[in-house]
Structure 1
């Protein structure tokens, strides 16, 4: 089957930003396939076709991408949204635990990208939209591994965009700030907690909960994702929401010492 309708594949589409993005792309005229680790037998919802996908599995990734291309005959947009949060002091987390976060947030994104690139290059067009974060360009105490994954996504995406642009493919970044999702409820806690960090870890939990409660609606981020998918002249980076825009501007113009002080203040760190 080949369709003239543009086709988008959105990972992590069962809730939060991914769900809002999938619905936004449907409204924008795309045929949309959304994925989740477990779709619980739901084949379609609100115009989105759902498939099970584990981005940490080479086989699962290859199977899903092949199924989408076989069904529609094309794949125009990939939204790499699937990810996992992690918290705790860096010293409290085992290397194995940090590796598991990278395997989803970074290597999962890379697996998906490698799977769709041959098709997009052959068609001479396509967009890969990677969901980064403001934590891809600012530090995040008590979220060091997570911030490291988003910094990695930033570097990978910008570098790859230069490689594939001449083949008609663009790799774009969307950078949300805190968003009202279930992110904090599903965050991976440290597997080797240390008493020395216990009090500050509890402070972090409260700061995180407050930030998410007051964060942007996922629909705000979804509108930016749709813009990245449809703009005639796309930008490499799209900040999503007013907070993300302010943080990006402050990172560029505020002196390093003052920015460092503000990070400590916002995270209620001494000194």
Structure 2
């Protein structure tokens, strides 16, 4: 595979950083989209010819076309777009504010959609390309306390599944990545955000809050191995639509799918009974 040009959001840490390092190690070029260019100064210093920062806040829709244009002006193409920037939000559905939900949806769906729209014309013209959407196991299943986070990831996955069908004829792959618990900065205090919890939901949600923050540093997933898995999926003859990462993600998603199938079959006759009778 010839050297590729990557545009990676949230490239200063976590999966974005691990992917940037893996791509650079493979001989590719990386445009590291970050809010603060200094956050990737060491990466640029290590690969001065193939790594450079692009200042971008993913929620700044007006800035997206210019950021993409900078990459195209410098390299002539974008082969892989990685929509990675994001954070977690813990809170009860009733108590999460409309502003909190809108802001998270902008970061996890509207921003990635804007970037995807900006890079697709060039990919279609060349007849090749890949869009990597960093979702989560929380994009396939949910539990109390992460309603807003799961809502945004479910939305990203639905949008991306339709996108994949639309762009496949143009030689463009869409890869939805669904990590479990990994040793990134996701669970760190100050990174993981919390809605205000009132007395009604405190007993139910405090264990969720403490469990997520308490897991920091002990997660089973290795971001370096995750990046290797993503590169392997992109290099495959047929890139998968979805790639769960980590044993916990595989187990939890498998259980959720089995539960959904069991419920579907249990209510199958009632569901089918909503049709007009045959012949009418």
User: Normalising to structure 2: TM-score of the pair?
Assistant: 0.85
Distance 2:100 2:45 in 1: 34
Which residue of the partner structure matches residue 27 of structure 2? Answer: 29
How far the C-alpha of 1:193 sits from its partner, in A, is 3.3
8 Å contact kept, 1:174–1:224: no
How many Å apart are 1:248 and its aligned residue? 2.3
Correspondence 1:50 to 2:53: yes
Which residue of structure 1 lines up, in the alignment, with residue 193 of structure 2? 188
Alignment counterpart, residue 204 of structure 1, candidates 208, 214, 233: 208
Q: CA deviation at 1:257?
A: 7.8
Contact 2:144/2:205, CA 8 A, preserved across alignment: no
Aligned to 2:133: 130
Which of residues 103, 111, 116 in structure 1 aligns to 2:114? 111
Give, in whole Å, the separation in 1 of the partners of 2:23 and 2:40.
19
CA root-mean-square deviation: 1.9
By how many angstroms is 1:150 displaced?
A: 0.7
2:86–2:108 Cα contact (<8 Å) kept:
yes
How far the C-alpha of 1:256 sits from its partner, in A, is: 6.8
Report the equivalent of 2:244.
Answer: 239
CA distance in 2, matches of 1:255, 1:127: 30
Work out the CA distance in 1 between the residues paired with 2:168 and 2:236.
Answer: 15
- Give the total of aligned pairs: 254
- 1:220: Cα distance to partner? 2.3
TM-score (norm 1): 0.87
- Deviation, structure 1 residue 50: 1.6
Answering whether residue 225 of structure 2 is matched by residue 227 of structure 1, we say no
Query: Which of 74, 92, 96 lines up with 1:71 in the alignment?
Result: 74
| 5+ residue gaps, structure 1 | 259-271
Could you give the per-residue CA deviations for residues 116-173 of structure 1, whole angstroms, max 9, x where no partner exists?
Answer: 0111111111000101111111113101000011111111111101001111111111
Residue 36 (structure 2) aligns with: 38
How far is the alpha carbon of 1:211 from its aligned partner?
A: 4.1
Structure 1 stretches of at least 4 aligned residues deviating more than 6 Å after TM superposition: 255-258
Distance 2:96 2:172 in 1: 37
Say which SS state the counterpart of residue 92 (structure 1) adopts: coil
* Distance change >3 Å, CA 30–CA 183, structure 1 → 2: same
**Structure of higher CA gyration radius:** 2
Check the 8 A contact 1:129/1:228 in 2, yes or no. no
